[in-house]
Amino acid sequence: MILALPLPQPLLRWLRSALAGSAAPVRDPGAPDGPPAINELYHARRLHLVRLAVLMVDDLGTAEDIVQDVFAALYRRHGADLRKIADPDAYLTSGVMNAARSALRRRRTARAYVPPPPGTAPAAEDQMLRGEGDREVLAALAELTVRQRQVVVLRYWSELSEQEIAEVLHVSRGTVKSTAHRALTLLRGLLGEHS
């Protein structure tokens, strides 16, 4: 089943003349024979191409931008005379389809982006209840790598053994020992404590 879409009058005249074997749309007497000039092609095909782009991107503004960009690219590449192009209609249709797919990819990428959640700010009373020493220790802990922080917290806060930490983190006991040593050395340096 073929859907009958209303075609613009210039395109209908051009199709009738092409089917009847006559020349392309009316042009300047000094214009060369062959495909229509870009301004004639624009007036004849713009609405059809906008409809095509709307079907692809489901947004009239974006569709009009796509068609305008495709015509501008055609003009930049070939100028007003389109004799070098075998089938300008196919060229334009292909350009609109490619640009619509690009617009959909950009839209999909933009919609897939999830901004990171804003950082949580500590409560005001937490800052007041902590002493200066506590704030220094927390700032120094923030300088450690994630693995170093995990080992230090599990060892000295949760009071797990080296073997238990190794099982929790799925690493060897030697890795736990060396990570704890490097973390404590870094913390001593940051806190100004030398042993």
Query: For residues 84 and 78, what is the distance between their CA atoms, to the nearest angstrom?
Result: 8
Please indicate, yes or no, whether residues 83 and 161 belong to a single structural domain of this protein.
no
User: What's the CATH number where 152 sits?
Assistant: 1.10.10.10
Residue 124 in any domain: the answer is no
How confident is the model at residue 176, as a pLDDT?
Answer: 93
Domain boundary among 87, 112, 137: 112
Domain boundary among 112, 145, 172: 112
**Contact yes or no for 93/49 (Cβ under 8 A):** yes
How confident is the model at residue 180, as a pLDDT?
Answer: 93
Please indicate, yes or no, whether residues 19 and 80 belong to a single structural domain of this protein.
yes
If pLDDT is split at 50, 70 and 90, which confidence band does 128 have? low
Count of domains forming the chain:
2
How confident is the model at residue 122, as a pLDDT?
Answer: 65
Who wins on pLDDT, 154 or 8?
154
CA atoms within 13 A on the CB side of 22: 9
What mean pLDDT comes out for the span 14-32?
A: 45
Residue 117 in any domain: the answer is no
Domain boundary among 54, 78, 112: 112
Please indicate, yes or no, whether residues 42 and 102 belong to a single structural domain of this protein.
yes
What mean pLDDT comes out for the span 114-127?
A: 73
Query: For residues 47 and 41, what is the distance between their CA atoms, to the nearest angstrom?
Result: 11
User: pTM for this one?
Assistant: 0.44
Please indicate, yes or no, whether residues 94 and 168 belong to a single structural domain of this protein.
no
Please indicate, yes or no, whether residues 134 and 187 belong to a single structural domain of this protein.
yes
How confident is the model at residue 27, as a pLDDT?
Answer: 44
CA atoms within 13 A on the CB side of 164: 9
Summary mean pLDDT of the chain = 79
Who wins on pLDDT, 130 or 16?
130
How confident is the model at residue 88, as a pLDDT?
Answer: 86
Residue 63 in any domain: the answer is yes
- Identify the DSSP state of 5: P
Residue 3 in any domain: the answer is no
Task: Collect all residues with Cβ–Cβ distance below 8 Å to 24 and sequence separation of at least 6.
Answer: 14, 17, 18, 34, 35, 36, 40
If pLDDT is split at 50, 70 and 90, which confidence band does 3 have? very low
Q: Which residues span the domain enclosing 170?
A: 129-191
How confident is the model at residue 114, as a pLDDT?
Answer: 82
pLDDT at 73 over 80: yes
Please indicate, yes or no, whether residues 66 and 161 belong to a single structural domain of this protein.
no
Nearest to residue 66, comparing CAs of 106, 40, 98, 110?
A: 98
How confident is the model at residue 60, as a pLDDT?
Answer: 93
Who wins on pLDDT, 103 or 127?
103
Nearest to residue 51, comparing CAs of 40, 41, 66?
A: 66
Residue 121 in any domain: the answer is no
